[in-house]
Amino acid sequence: MRRESKSTTGSVVRDRRSKKWQFFWWADGRRHSKRLGYFPTKTAARNAAQQFRVQPAQPKPSSAPTVPELVERYRAERMPTRTDTKRSYEVWISNHIIPKWGGCTITDLEPRPVELWLESLSLAPKSKTHIRGVLHNLWDFAAWSGDVARDRRNPMELVRIKGASKRVQKAPESHRGRVPKLGTTFAGAFPRYGFAVLLLGASHQRVSCLEVVRRGLAQRQAVG
């Protein structure tokens, strides 16, 4: 048997005795063969073997939307309605996000490339944080609309901004809501401390209302 042609997609071989052509190829780690029959030329045998060649797997087209497509839908469905906030979003999207990621799908926005890109921008850390926040919202919107898996973590949570300060926590609602009411309740019995409680509540200070009342009761007992 004489080998006539060989390649990574298989080879055609003609048997010297029978003059018949065979096709050999590798797939899944195993060698396969197929008898082709009589053909006058090598080219004819190759053409006949074409149907048995293993075709390379074609990449599946991504079902994730492109960044511009997602942005347009986000504008219509989830864009903040407050004028100042909406204007700032549009600035970050039009001047930075679309120019850089306009030819990508939302799934291309992974933590490492996004973080390196943000580091390369000549912007203040606060501005970079705002851009990351917009990208975070776009990812959340993609999950909400079913364009990406909802069980995966938002990749923008892994993006770090050098020099960005931590977000200042707001005072608990329990203090901000109860202090003025408690100050009003005890204003009659303890005018001085009731007024102090009102001031502290208005300024959102974390001061224990019970401590203020305890001091007032102690002072009243001492006087009595």
What is the predicted pLDDT for the residue at 174? 44
Could you tell me the strand order of the sheet in which 21-27 lies?
A: 2-3, 11-14, 21-27, 30-37
Cα angle value 167/171/173 (rounded, 5°) = 130
- CA 187 to each of CA 118, 177, 191, 194: distance values in angstroms, whole numbers, following the listed order: 53, 16, 5, 4
At residue 31, the pLDDT reads 75
How far apart CA 201 and CA 141 sit, in angstroms, is: 37
What is the structure's pLDDT at 151? 82
Can you give the pLDDT at residue 2? Answer: 45
Residue 214 to residue 77: CA distance in whole angstroms: 52
- CA–CA separation, 80 and 6 (whole Å): 63
**pTM of full prediction above 0.85:** no
Q: What is the CATH number of domain 67-158?
A: 1.10.150.130
Residue 208's CB is within 10 A of a number of other CB atoms, namely 11
pLDDT on residue 74: 95
Task: Supply the pLDDT for residue 8.
Answer: 52
pLDDT of residue 112: 94
d(CA 53, CA 205): 76
At 33, list the tokens: 């063969």
The DSSP code sequence of 129-191 is: HHHHHHHHHHHHHHHHTTSS-TTSPPGGGG---TTPPPPPPPPPHHHHHHHHHHHHHSTTT-H
| End-to-end Cα, the chain, rounded Å | 121
Angle at 164 between CA 163 and CA 170, to 5 degrees: 145
Q: Considering only CA atoms, which of 222, 158, 216 is closest in space to residue 187?
A: 216
What pLDDT tens digit does each residue of the chain (224 aa) get? 444 444 456 788 888 888 788 777 776 667 777 778 788 887 887 777 776 665 555 555 557 899 999 999 999 999 999 999 999 999 999 999 999 999 999 999 999 999 999 999 999 999 999 999 999 999 999 999 998 888 888 999 999 998 876 553 344 444 444 444 544 554 555 555 555 554 455 444 444 555 655 666 666 666 55
